[in-house]
Amino acid sequence: MNTTLAAAVLALGTAGAAVAPSAQAQDTSSAGLVDALNATFGSHAGMRASHAKGFCAVGEFQPAKGARDFADVPLFAQKSLPANVRFSIGGGNPKASDKSRSVRGLSMRVAGGGDSWDLLLISEPAFFAATPESFVSFLQARVLDPATGKPDPAKVAAHNAAHPDGTRQPALLAAHAAPSSYASTPYFSNNAFVFSGRGKKTRHARIVAEPFGAVQYLTADEEKTLPDLFLQDELARRLAADPVGFTLYAQLPAAGDALLDPSTVWQGDGKVELGRLLVKDLAPQEACNGVVYMPLALPAGIAASEDPILKARGAPYAISLSRRTKQ
């Protein structure tokens, strides 16, 4: 989301007079989901339909010793796995400000022992839609009105009235400024996955990556004075001194947490350590330009849940890859 769009969306919050939801058709086919992203953010040659602005890094993933007691994932038997990482800003605007109050993304691909795992995380614990219909409607409501250069408040209010699931992530984003570093925010999978334990016992869990250091958001002063581009240099400075680390946990649901609704924040505070991601160096753009992180590329022992958003995420990523590598 760009600054203007993000500011307008935040200003709207969940308030506003509800008007009848727009009668606009919602194409929830895989191509329709990508079209909805392109319609809101524009199509930018060579760029991802979502999380367009970002850069690549490399590091390693070290599975935790006890991870296999929780989930029988052969990949976790490796001591260390090379990790290809991408940090990004949510939305399809490749020029989004690093100060914009939108989500930050952390994607990683680890491979070893004949298996691999793609993991895509964002910096808020809830997604902006519970279903593909709501995803398309959320984006349609935020297409910029050519007269004002901002989303039409009436359309956003109508979306909120019809899809309350679309109000939670904007409220979370409005509650704090943007992270002051890619290393100073936690990241969340939003979707739950099904982990197989020994003896075929399965359980749902979400993934959370907690930074080794403190969680820090921009101060009001930094929001005013920092340039729109600072996150990559900021991370490079940290990496020149030390790796940047995250501890990955499986978050367990509390009774009553919705297993299949990524737009809800889980209350469960039980967590099991899965390992540590150490980001060591930035990598050239080519290292991840032609790469697509796939939400359903899971290792043996971790399966997709029936979450309708997770299930809808397979093909759109491949479509976005094919569009951006053809342009």
Catalytic option among 51, 159, 163, 204: 51
292 binds ligand HEM (CB under 6 A): yes
**Contact pick of 8, 12, 33, 57 for ligand HEM (by CB under 6 A):** 33
Residue 77: name the closest of 97, 62, 92, 57 by CA. 62
178 binds ligand HEM (CB under 6 A): no
Are the C-beta atoms of residues 138 and 14 closer than 8 Å to each other? no
Residue position matching structure tokens 């760029």: 47
Q: Mark whether 51 is an active-site residue.
A: yes
**Contact pick of 186, 211, 245, 316 for ligand HEM (by CB under 6 A):** 316
CB of 324 to ligand HEM, least distance (A): 6
Are the C-beta atoms of residues 274 and 95 closer than 8 Å to each other? no
Beta strand ranges found along 78-157 (DSSP E): 81-89, 104-112, 115-122, 144-145, 150-151
Q: ∠305-38-121 over CA atoms, to 5°?
A: 35
**Contact pick of 181, 191, 251, 305 for ligand HEM (by CB under 6 A):** 191
Give whole-number Cα distances, 63 to 9, 117, 184, 312, in Å: 39, 12, 22, 28
Which residues lie across from 251 on neighbouring strands? Answer: 206, 271
CB of 283 to ligand HEM, least distance (A): 13
85 binds ligand HEM (CB under 6 A): no
313 binds ligand HEM (CB under 6 A): yes
CB of 52 to ligand HEM, least distance (A): 8
Q: What is the widest separation between alpha-carbon atoms in the chain?
A: 61
96 binds ligand HEM (CB under 6 A): no
CA atoms of 113 and 225, how far apart (whole Å): 47
**Contact pick of 100, 189, 251, 305 for ligand HEM (by CB under 6 A):** 189
Are the C-beta atoms of residues 208 and 188 closer than 8 Å to each other? yes
CA atoms of 126 and 264, how far apart (whole Å): 5
Residue 214, sorted as left (phi over 0), alpha (psi -120 to 50) or beta, turns out to be beta
Closer residue to ligand HEM (CB): 5 or 122: 122
Q: How far apart are the first and last CA of the chain?
A: 22
84 binds ligand HEM (CB under 6 A): no
**Contact pick of 135, 182, 193, 246 for ligand HEM (by CB under 6 A):** 135
Q: Which of residues 246-275 bind ligand HEM (CB under 6 A)?
A: 262
The count of chain residues that interact with ligand HEM, using the rule CB under 6 A, is: 32
Give the range of 60-68, 173-181, 183-191, 244-252 binding ligand HEM by CB under 6 A.
183-191
320 binds ligand HEM (CB under 6 A): yes
**Contact pick of 63, 105, 112, 299 for ligand HEM (by CB under 6 A):** 105
Catalytic center residues: 51
- Residues within the interface to ligand HEM (CB under 6 A): 33-34, 37, 48-51, 54, 86, 88, 105, 107, 120-122, 127, 132, 135, 189-191, 262, 292-293, 309, 312-313, 316-317, 320-321, 324
